[in-house]
Amino acid sequence: MSGLAALLAGHNPPAVHQWHSNASVPDVEHAVEKAGWAFRYLDAWTIEDRATFCKAAASVLDLHDGDDAELATLCSGLDGLRADRNGLVLLWDGWSPLARHDEEAFRTVLAAMERRSADTGKGAAAFILRGEGPPLDLEELPIKH
């Protein structure tokens, strides 16, 4: 069983994971939604600055109207994010540009994601950072078990 399948089936708790899969976004979306989870996709390969990232992430997660470029507002929105259905999966492609160009903002967002994934009272939320980048101290979501 893949790590994604185990997560969606409830065998692994929701968390912030790193993933090195080359599965297409439509295939991941299909698997997530077939399991009854909501799917969000953040393509951030061209985003290196905090303001643009905050707007893009807030828009993808429907946290507010997407016009606020403040990191504190984004993190507050993540803390209060409610997951409907079985849970929510955010697939974040292109996390490394922000991590390399604004490490402080990246670490702040990562901490907010970790807090939210641990707070199952608002529904399950898993955040998957896909691809290569600076070393992270995150559990790897295995491609195959």
What percentage of the chain reaches a pLDDT higher than 90?
77
Tens-place pLDDT, residues 7-22: 999 998 899 999 999 9
Stated pTM of the model: 0.93
Contacts of 10 (CB under 8 A, 6+ apart): none
Q: What is the 3-state secondary structure of 44-55? A: CCCCCCHHHHHH
C-alpha distances out from residue 26 to 1, 19, 23, 31, 34, Å: 19, 16, 8, 9, 12
Contacts of 26 (CB under 8 A, 6+ apart): none
- pLDDT score, position 63: 86
Domains, the chain, ordered by start:
3-140 (3.30.370.10)
Average pLDDT over residues 34-56: 94
What percentage of the chain reaches a pLDDT higher than 70?
94
Tens-place pLDDT, residues 56-90: 999 999 887 555 568 998 999 999 899 988 999 99
- Which residue has tokens 């259905």? 85
